Amino acid sequence: MDAAAGYPPSMSSGAVDDQGRFGLETALAAAERDELAVWVGDFLASAGSDNEVLGAALAQRPHWWVGPLELELSDLERLAGPEDDALCAVDDEEWEDDIDSMEDSLGDGWAPPPLLVQYDGGRLLLQDGNHRYEAMVRAGERRGWGIVYFDVEADRDRFVADHGVSGHVPTNG
């Protein structure tokens, strides 16, 4: 896996470090251009992301987007991990190796790409970035950058109002 997929350069499998292409700044610029859906799709399809299926599913119909914005990590529900009840099970040894490497990289100044979060009936489900999330939690971070997507425009509008989101709010894509 490589940095394009949200993994730090130390975990790169020899692929070109694409951190600049999928960092916070490029996500913010895409949001400003109303191209956040394209940025997310490209990110999910990047080498090693293991989330091409999610990217394809999101492309099937319009969604409404907010972000990137800082989110309280404690508000997010992780969906992948080594737990028996995880929606997406990950081998315990692989999970721990990835988290340890990311946590070390965070200590070295690595800024992970924004997390991808689905708003579902008031819940914030972590659809992409479960490893990054866990590494940030273990590193003592309380907040992280995320992109939230919505299936219903009214839910997006309510979220924006309830959370005091200001600035540019992309339409749909």
pLDDT tops 70 at residue 17 = no
Q: Which residues of 10-35 are buried (b: 16+ CB within 10 A; e: fewer)?
A: ebbeeeeebbeebbeebbbebbeeeb
Pairwise CA distance, residues 5 & 3, whole Å? 5
**Sign of the dihedral through C-alpha 115, 21, 34, 37:** negative
The separation between CA 93 and the C-alpha centre of its own chain, rounded to angstroms, equals 22
Write down the H helix ranges in the chain: 24-32, 36-45, 52-58, 92-107, 130-138, 153-162
* pLDDT tens for each residue of 47-61: 746 688 888 888 899
Higher pLDDT, 68 or 23: 68
Q: What is the pTM of this model?
A: 0.84
